Structure 1
């Protein structure tokens, strides 16, 4: 402001001085004219020169004033506009000039200040967003890893314990609990706990309690506290109900329970935590259902195995014992009649029958052993089993093998494959009324495979398979356990083909 006043004062001073000098010159030369020191023409010429000089001085002053009051401020504003356009917002905007220019400069500076504030806020938001995206990605990767781990377990209690442990660590809680609804839908019963035992003050809750109804009928996890969500989960102590989450466990439209995570810290869980627990609860519900179905399939498999052993004992050992009883009676009769030679012949046959029965019992016992023969690869085991079943049921065996593709699998996987193949071969022997069975083992680009095909009566695949169709479901469950699948192709009167496939492991 002081500089602007100085400039204006100088301009005014020069203009006044020019006018004074012009007037002084005119007066001086007019005085000389009166003294007749100059002639009239000379006087006029001098006056012209003085006026011309004064006009030039005033024009120069006007040009200088116009430049500094108009052109220079406009140039400065143009520079400022370029700086704003290039997003250079750190330097304040201050343009000297007339009041209008100064007001415009102030407005532009206010715009710069707002833009700078918005830019700073945007950068902060961007950095925060990057952090949240990174955190979210890490959480999703962790959730995916946890999902794979939970889904790989087929024991119900292992799944329960794994879910609570992973929920507590993933969400940073102090305690996690999982409750299941009883068969009558009357109670929620605690099934698994991860955290201190004193965090739990009860192991049951009425399913019709306000909190239970709210959680079980909801679609998402709820963020609760002691004074919200109808008091929260009453199974948790007051300390751990300070901040806790509760999510429903659903399988389709069926509610099976609830998953809770608690912490003594205030506001421990945010919206992201609730969303994460919702996803984890969905994975947990599916894993629990799979484990339950597998346990059911295992129970039925055990029952089927017992029935198979009972049938084999009835058809084999039972009939052998009856035959031995008959032979013994004949020996007694022959001895009573004095036919020692015939009695001796019967005793020899009896001894042969006992030897065969002993071999059958040993073979049956070996087939029930869990251990896999250490000196046999999987294809060899399947071939031996197929030969045993085929020879015992008057079946012609056609064996096809890709000798260079023997899979290197774990003992558990090999046992499941062997059990599935054996069950399929037994089904052919018992129910297919076949004369020939073909067993083809090998691999393609992505999978190993075992194909069991017969020339028997077949069945309608759109209807449950006859004679123990539950065995097919058990075989499917076993295949799923090793990450494989079973496909059936059958037509009445044209035989049946069962194909088991499983993925080739990367190490292979």
Structure 2
């Protein structure tokens, strides 16, 4: 077994080698599918080296296994036996662990787990090239030789360069996969938040109305029964409309008249549904709020009012906004027993809602605090120095 330095590439390999390097670079620039790129490039690499077969192996997520990703020229039985091997095994292990190109004719490690007789007969020498990027090995590629002819030094140098470029391709694919997972997770969290904020208050109202409807039916109080039935029907209609909006647009729109108008409508709905006396004082919101920030603020207020409705047992509630040119402070308060984190009255859904409020405040660059209110009850306070909206944003 031997390792090779990085000698200078000569003109004799430049046409084929330069073409291979250009193809890999083009694949990286175009964001091509990694497996398709490997399949397309492995055959010319095998031909360049004068080998009979080639294979690319990628490290598993645990980092302890090498998994076959692309193959050229290996018999099917050998492919099956080589599908998954130990990362530290034999020639491949020496290349991966040592971060170096390894050329070997001692193949007893390969013979031990192969069982087909390929190593030692069909393959007499084996080359293992690590696929590296920024000091990290992400896999290896193997070239299988039927004789003892060794590639010249300038070809070995090129094969090593190809390994580094393929390592870059693997790292790009890994980063892209991680970015995709993060995006999907973020979208799921956003969807959960939108459904919770849009539906929780309405369903709570329905839950509170159903016992009243049942009592009215039992007492044959048709007047109140019809009223409660109408309330439930209206709430279900609102819930259905909200759900359709979330599914079709993935967000609740504030509307062309802005956040202040949306909050006034929210307060009006709260007053219609509750005996809790809600005071709304708006001393001015900044004119520079983006649509995204307005949406986050609206849902924070919506959830805070829903918590008052569900948990507070309050008689009075207050929504107060103090605004300036670029920032504001918003407070939602009640004089009830509250539903603070850690209280027995605070159920799992409320914990979830408070967490979502905090995430919304963080996304908009604000600070959220859930505190005891002086004189009893709970205060939800949102402070924000809001960024300016996008230049193309218009209000009708």
Superposition TM-score tier, normalisation by shorter sequence: 0.5 to 0.7
1:169 aligns with 2:169: no
Shift of 1:456: 5.8
Q: 1:135 to 1:396 in 2, by over 3 A?
A: farther
The CA RMSD measured in Å over matched residues stands at 4.5
1:343-402 residue CA offsets vs partner (Å, 9 max, x unmatched)? 43443333222222222222233347xxxxxxxxxxxxxxxx7xx5333995389xxxxx
CA contact (8 A) 1:324 1:353 kept: yes
Residues of 1 paired with 2:300 and 2:327: CA distance? 4
1:481-500 residue CA offsets vs partner (Å, 9 max, x unmatched)? xxxxxxxxxxx95434799x
1:149 aligns with 2:27: yes
1:395 aligns with 2:395: no
1:25-54 residue CA offsets vs partner (Å, 9 max, x unmatched)? xxxxxxxxxxxxxxxxxxxxxxxxxxxxxx
Q: 1:272 to 1:433 in 2, by over 3 A?
A: farther
**Corresponding residue SS for 2:195:** helix
Which structure has the bigger radius of gyration? 1
TM-score (norm 1): 0.43
1:113-149 residue CA offsets vs partner (Å, 9 max, x unmatched)? xxxxxxxxxxxxxxxxxxx648514532432222332
Shift of 1:167: 2.6
Residues of 1 paired with 2:360 and 2:67: CA distance? 36
Unaligned runs of 5+ in 1: 1-131, 369-384, 398-423, 436-453, 458-465, 473-491, 500-508
CA contact (8 A) 1:177 1:260 kept: yes
Residues of 1 paired with 2:129 and 2:198: CA distance? 56
Count of residues paired in the alignment: 274
Residues of 2 paired with 1:211 and 1:470: CA distance? 51
CA contact (8 A) 1:249 1:281 kept: yes
Unaligned runs of 5+ in 2: 1-9, 262-289, 302-324, 329-357, 365-382, 391-396
1:194 aligns with 2:72: yes
**Corresponding residue SS for 1:325:** helix
Which of residues 280, 285, 289 is equivalent to 2:162?
280
Q: 1:328 to 1:493 in 2, by over 3 A?
A: closer
- Which is helix-richer, 1 or 2? 1
1:212-266 residue CA offsets vs partner (Å, 9 max, x unmatched)? 45423555534x3535xx7796667335534543211223222232111224355
Residues of 2 paired with 1:272 and 1:431: CA distance? 64
Residues of 2 paired with 1:243 and 1:165: CA distance? 24
Partner residue of 2:207?
325
Between 1 and 2, higher relative CO (CA 8 Å, sep ≥ 6) is seen in 2
1:464-506 residue CA offsets vs partner (Å, 9 max, x unmatched)? xx8389999xxxxxxxxxxxxxxxxxxx95434799xxxxxxx
TM-score (norm 2): 0.54
Residues of 2 paired with 1:345 and 1:467: CA distance? 38
CA contact (8 A) 2:253 2:295 kept: yes
Range that drifts further, 330-339 or 271-280: 330-339
Q: 1:331 to 1:390 in 2, by over 3 A?
A: same
